[in-house]
Amino acid sequence: MMKQQLNMMNPVLFSSKNEIWETPQAFFSELNAEFGFTLDACALPVNAKCRLFFTPQENGLIKDWSGHTVFCNPPYGRKIAAWVEKCYLESRKANTKVVMLLPARTDTVYFHTYIYKKAEIRFVKGRLKFGNALNSAPFPSMVVIF
């Protein structure tokens, strides 16, 4: 039964082929009501959550985020640690707050270096359904507030 259920799910969800996990609008709206975001640091024009946003071509990793309340849902691939480090460092600037949506991977070096004991962590109950996906994500999520 379990094998049959897995075969019916999108195989991309279980691979590293897809690093883009579009934030569910209702989930973002709830966070935005609390924080009032002014910048989406990592977006595509079709899924940007703020008027001001950085695309992959603009590379939010090299931009200055000073003075903004930033939302960041980075690609969940090999560069995720660089995004977590960037969010942590930018949050240390005056008048800058950063909120990240991440997979809840508490066993990673970046979690223990930049998140644990340095940020507020909110674990998401259940699994998010990203973008237009038919199924929920195969991983739990967390909101990290720097």
Domain assignment present for residue 13? The answer is: no
Average pLDDT for 8-21? 48
What pLDDT score does 15 carry? 37
Q: What percent of the chain has pLDDT over 70?
A: 87
Domain assignment present for residue 7? The answer is: no
Say how many domains are in the chain.
1
Band of pLDDT at residue 19, cut at 50, 70 and 90: low
Q: What is the CA radius of gyration of the chain?
A: 15
Using CA atoms, how far apart are residues 113 and 98, in angstroms rounded to an integer? 16
What pLDDT score does 1 carry? 41
The model carries a pTM of 0.86
Domain assignment present for residue 58? The answer is: yes
Domain assignment present for residue 107? The answer is: yes
Closest CA to 32 of 128, 115, 101, 131: 101
What pLDDT score does 2 carry? 37
Domain assignment present for residue 11? The answer is: no
> 133 lies in which domain range?
18-145
Structure tokens, 125? 């109950």
Band of pLDDT at residue 62, cut at 50, 70 and 90: very high
**For residue 47, pLDDT beyond 80:** yes
| Nearest-10 Cα torsion for 32, 138, 105, 75 | -60
What pLDDT score does 21 carry? 78
Domain assignment present for residue 4? The answer is: no
CATH code assigned at 128: 3.40.50.150
Domain assignment present for residue 113? The answer is: yes
Band of pLDDT at residue 18, cut at 50, 70 and 90: low
What pLDDT score does 12 carry? 39
| pLDDT tens-digit series, residues 67-122 | 999 999 999 999 999 999 999 999 999 999 999 999 999 999 999 999 999 999 99
| pLDDT tens-digit series, residues 108-133 | 999 999 999 999 999 999 999 998 88
Closest CA to 91 of 109, 73, 67, 75: 67
Using CA atoms, how far apart are residues 91 and 87, in angstroms rounded to an integer? 6
